[in-house]
Amino acid sequence: MSQSEVARLREQIAREYESAQSVFFGFSQKAKHTFYTQSQERIAIHFEELQKHMTPEAAMQVLIEESNRNS
């Protein structure tokens, strides 16, 4: 497992969660939905990449941790 790749993916996931949270401030309803959906799609891509470097369970734990950190 490449620690630097896992760290990079974790950081990208964290940024996407932060970005998704920002959608609730100042966007129109349609823009909110579009922006949030795109952010969630990018998180899914990062999750798939993360699973290449760790077990699916460990990758899911990373998602949960980052989601909780940014809630």
Q: Judging by beta carbons within 10 Å of its beta carbon (0-12, 13-18, 19+), is residue 59 exposed, middle or buried?
A: buried
Residue 12: strand, helix, or coil: helix
Residue 8 pLDDT > 80: yes
- Side chain identity, residue 5: E
Q: How many domains does the chain have?
A: 1
Share of residues in the chain with pLDDT > 90 (%) = 58
Q: What is the pLDDT of residues 28-37, one digit of tens each?
A: 777 778 888 8
Residue 27 pLDDT > 70: no
Report pLDDT for 60: 95
Average the pLDDT over 25-53 and give the result.
Answer: 86
Distance between CA atoms of residues 57 and 51, nearest Å: 9
Report pLDDT for 55: 95
Domain span at residue 43? 3-69
Report pLDDT for 52: 94
CB count within 10 Å of CB 62 equals 19
Distance between CA atoms of residues 47 and 25, nearest Å: 26
